[in-house]
Structure 1
């Protein structure tokens, strides 16, 4: 995995995201066309930090996602599906699998923070 390959992958993936009927509108409502290059640079910093251990990303992904009121589990599932498809189209199977695994772990962490409810830990009652 190189920075160049990562950039090519992210460009292809986010081109799909922007065209997608499910998650495209969520991104379009928050990122103007002229702001996409800056957003993609931030995303590349994030994934470079995760995959290549560069440490370039200094943001808070949870804080960005918690501010999106309409985000739901279906949006995460769609994002992960497109991510996995693009990884398979772009990389060898082993690299695509590593990318998908990391994306799922990060997605699980975000979902746990966004959708966790304390009542989920309560006993269900007599069985």
Structure 2
């Protein structure tokens, strides 16, 4: 549910920064993200716009995440599941519980969509598999 009243951009920025701090330190995801992202400040700003558009309906994000993810080599379900696990850990400790819950619910759908799209672009002849939501 898009709602400017759900949270502030400051809360979204804090969540995004906290999450990607964990991602960068993660032994599984950190090397991938740190290899592909050169400008972390710019990336975090873009992701804050992305989540502001999703959670608050701000319309600030302009972009297409699917092609950027599809272009990455050697992604697998475990990586998407790890991303979701870290996202769940981050959103679970947000002071704004409603924002955290809405963000995680949305992140699950986004991860599934990106994983399906990735599989379909790499192996269009096979049926895509889903992710485990632990």
TM bucket (normalised to shorter chain) is 0.7 to 0.9
Q: Offset at 1:92? A: 4.1
Map of 2:92 onto structure 1: 88
Q: Where does structure 2 lack aligned partners over 5 or more consecutive residues?
A: 1-6, 129-134
d(CA) in 1 for partners of 2:67 and 2:49?
17
TM norm structure 1: 0.87
SS at match of 2:75: coil
d(CA) in 2 for partners of 1:5 and 1:92?
8
Q: Where does structure 1 lack aligned partners over 5 or more consecutive residues?
A: 122-127
Larger radius of gyration: 1
TM norm structure 2: 0.83
Task: Tell me whether 99-108 or 87-96 shows the greater mean CA deviation.
Answer: 87-96
Aligned length: 119
Map of 1:120 onto structure 2: 127
Cα RMSD for the two superposed structures? 1.5
